[in-house]
Amino acid sequence: MKKKICVPRVLKNVSYVLFPIFITILCILIIGLTYPIEKNNQSYFETNRFAEEYAYEIFNAVDAVNYLKDDKTTNIYSYYYVDTEQLDNNAIATEINYYYEYNGSNVKWLIIDNNTKKAYTNLDYSIQTSNIESIKNTIMQNGITWNYENEEISTNINKLSNSEYIKKGIVKRIESSEKESNEQNNNIQNYTIYTAVLDNLEYADEIAFNKILYDTFSSVSRQSLVLIPILIILIIILVPIIVVGVGKSAKSEEIKLNWYDKILVEIALFIAIFIAGIGVCFMATISGANTVATFVLGMSVMGVGILIIYLSCILFFETIVKRLKTHTFLKTTFAYWVYVRLKKFLDDMKITKKLILYFILFIVANLICFGIMWSDGFPGIVLSIILYIVTYSYISKRVKSFVKIKSAINDLYKGNTELNLKEEDFTTEMKGTSKEINDIAGGLSNAIEERLKSERLKTELITNVSHDIKTPLTSIINYIDLLKKEGIDSIKAEEYLNILDSKSQRLKKLTEDLVEASKASSGAIKLNIEKLNVNELIKQVSGEFEDKFKAHKLEEIITLPEHDVYINADSRYMYRVLENMYSNISKYALEGTRVYTDIIENDLSIMIQLKNVSKQKLNISVDELMQRFVRGDASRNTEGSGLGLSIASSLTDLQQGKFNIYLDGDLFKVTIEFEKK
């Protein structure tokens, strides 16, 4: 199976390699712009810088001779020859060799004091340097030389061919000798000087280092202005590539955190600094190198140290980027660690103890502010103002939380279950309460939804059953009607047919009421809202029930406004509501009593009020009476189905009206209220 390659991760690793390379080149180019380069493509040995360094080495040689003339040979780590006398002091030779192994110079010299006939040199002792002539030959075999002999300068360095600067510098150093300062023959004419620069630049001194810099910067200075912008752009491009690739892998798109990414940021920083410290220790080992070979070795060790430091920086950089990508940076800081534990401590503390603690802290802060105010004045006033602003903000935030909780509870009490309180909007003390209120509201909402669902199922069941009953019932009624038309000789049979007819009609009315009740309660009714004249509607319904009222010896007293009043309702269903009420009165009102029908006009509403005295004792509550299949007569001898009030109430609600029943002893009162139009 071919292994999947994670392109962002590969690009990131390549960028990690290119980044330090580009940075190094950029630094070299920037330094190259400011580094003094001689014109006309001169080599380093033709520059003023080399001439100055060479002169400085000559001055150092004269200083060394001054020390040697004070018999400080063993302290200067140099040695001298007197005429052709060979040096066989092994202790001094060993000491010299050790010194120059680590502190060598590429400028070799031989200085002869013509008065004392003593010769001084910085060449290592060997068979080839056992006398003055051999030392001179060894020095002069190099390509770059500067000599002073018989008061004449001979050199192949143009800038030092006739330099009064060097002569004056040498004289100044000769005159500064403490031992020889009072002698008359203390001048440059008494010296013969032979100097040369080693062709192979064997030692890592200033001349070798500056030559490397000069050669490097002279080769890049011409391209700097073009390359610097390009490198800056490339470095800028590498940064987002690295950031995108951090945490990516071929196995998963999700950022995976290791143990280093989960520890505290401060500990991660300490580990990175510790690793970088190891790199610094590697870099420190290069001190003391003086030869090119040891310098190259030192640079290699230094490179290892820089690599370790760079890897430690990558390690810390990647963990920071991963934490930012996974939004865990703040949560892994020491400050957050302290905050979580302090918060837990305060949360677990009882509110009374917490209040006492806050109060004590407030008093202590006040005393500190007053103390500063007493001693320094203005700073104390500023701190006091800040303290009271913070305290007010703290108290205000908590008061707002309490107000929100109170408002939410009030909404819940009024039936609003669509609450969604955000915990982050509340203080610590109220977060738990807000979550509990959300749970309560959600539970109520679910309960209401389940109940509505149950009601819909019941309604559908009633509708379906009623439809199934209505089909055979229609056939029964039709066949009874046919039997009546055919005629039956038996008196009993005719009586039975009348009973069947009565009961079937009652069953038909019940099924119709069931269907209507189910539609009304579920809202599955299409309304045609229009402007209705209430006076005319009452007169129409009252006229249709006039015979029934007379049959039960009921006297209706109607009180109407002097002018017409109007409401917005569906004429058909509004008539059905009033018909149910009048039908209910005709069945359950006490015979020989009065029925009161009043239309009451208010500023904002029109109320239809019906009152009558019940023939049965009303020993049930209004809520029970409003339930389906409940009737006022406990014996259930009347023809009612117990659905009239429920249907009337549902139809009224659908038309945005208010339907209420009031019971006062045997007095039965119904009010139907609509907005005035």
**What pLDDT score does 210 carry?**
84
C-alpha atoms less than 13 angstroms from C-alpha of 169 in its C-beta half-sphere: 16
Percentage of the chain modeled with pLDDT above 70: 66
Rg of the chain taking only CA atoms, in angstroms: 57
Contact status, residue 577 vs residue 652, Cβ threshold 8 Å: yes
Which among 515, 526, 525, 509 has a CA at the least distance from the CA of 460?
Answer: 515
For residue 256, give both structure tokens. 């995976």
- With a CB cutoff of 8 Å and minimum separation 6, the contacts of 49 are 36, 210, 214
For 469, other C-beta atoms within 10 Å of its C-beta total 15
Q: Which helix (H) or strand (E) holds 434?
A: helix 428-486
First to last CA, the chain: 81
CA separation for the pair 81, 112 (Å, rounded): 9
Whether 392 shows a pLDDT value over 50: the answer reads yes
Go through 576-587 and write b for each residue having 16 or more CB atoms within 10 A of its CB, e for each that does not. bbbebbbbbbbb
**For the segment 458-490, what is each residue's pLDDT rounded down to a tens digit?**
666 666 666 666 666 676 777 677 666 666 666
Q: Which of 2-6, 234-238, 550-554, 616-620 is least confident? A: 2-6
For 275, other C-beta atoms within 10 Å of its C-beta total 16
Among the four given CATH numbers 3.40.640.10, 1.20.5.440, 3.40.50.11900, 3.30.565.10, the one describing domain 526-675: 3.30.565.10
**For the segment 105-127, what is each residue's pLDDT rounded down to a tens digit?**
888 888 887 777 777 887 776 77
Contact status, residue 186 vs residue 114, Cβ threshold 8 Å: no
User: What are the distances in angstroms from CA 233 to CA 19, 226, 239, 284, 402?
Assistant: 12, 12, 10, 34, 56
Length reported for the chain: 677
Q: Which of 134-143, 199-208, 310-319 is least confident? A: 199-208
CA separation for the pair 655, 286 (Å, rounded): 97
Q: Where are the alpha helices (DSSP H) in 141-205?
A: 164-175
Which among 635, 634, 632, 639 has a CA at the least distance from the CA of 670?
Answer: 632
The sign of the torsion formed by the CA atoms of 307, 311, 314, 320 equals negative
User: What are the distances in angstroms from CA 310 to CA 31, 33, 268?
Assistant: 22, 26, 15
Whether 270 shows a pLDDT value over 90: the answer reads yes
The sign of the torsion formed by the CA atoms of 221, 224, 227, 228 equals positive
Contact status, residue 342 vs residue 291, Cβ threshold 8 Å: no
Whether 90 shows a pLDDT value over 50: the answer reads no
For 259, other C-beta atoms within 10 Å of its C-beta total 6
Q: Which of 35-49, 212-226, 444-458 is least confident? A: 444-458
pTM, entire model: 0.44
Q: Give the pLDDT band of residue 610 (cuts 50, 70, 90).
A: very high
**What pLDDT score does 469 carry?**
66
**For the segment 569-606, what is each residue's pLDDT rounded down to a tens digit?**
888 888 888 888 888 888 888 998 999 999 998 888 89
Percentage of the chain modeled with pLDDT above 90: 6
For residue 676, give both structure tokens. 């005035």
Across the range 332-358, mean pLDDT stands at 76
- With a CB cutoff of 8 Å and minimum separation 6, the contacts of 479 are none
Q: Residue for token digits 């980044």?
A: 19
Whether 294 shows a pLDDT value over 70: the answer reads no
Q: Is the pLDDT higher at 526 or at 195? A: 195
Work out the angle at residue 188's Cα, subtended by the Cα atoms of residues 187 and 190, and round it to the nearest 5 degrees.
80
Which among 447, 451, 446, 445 has a CA at the least distance from the CA of 411?
Answer: 445
**Distance of alpha carbon 658 from its chain centroid, rounded?**
53
CA separation for the pair 50, 43 (Å, rounded): 10
CA separation for the pair 87, 182 (Å, rounded): 30
- With a CB cutoff of 8 Å and minimum separation 6, the contacts of 264 are 332, 333, 334, 337
Q: Where are the alpha helices (DSSP H) in 35-103?
A: 48-69, 73-76, 90-103
CA separation for the pair 192, 56 (Å, rounded): 18
Q: Give the pLDDT band of residue 11 (cuts 50, 70, 90).
A: confident
Work out the angle at residue 410's Cα, subtended by the Cα atoms of residues 404 and 413, and round it to the nearest 5 degrees.
145
**For the segment 642-667, what is each residue's pLDDT rounded down to a tens digit?**
566 777 787 788 888 888 988 888 88
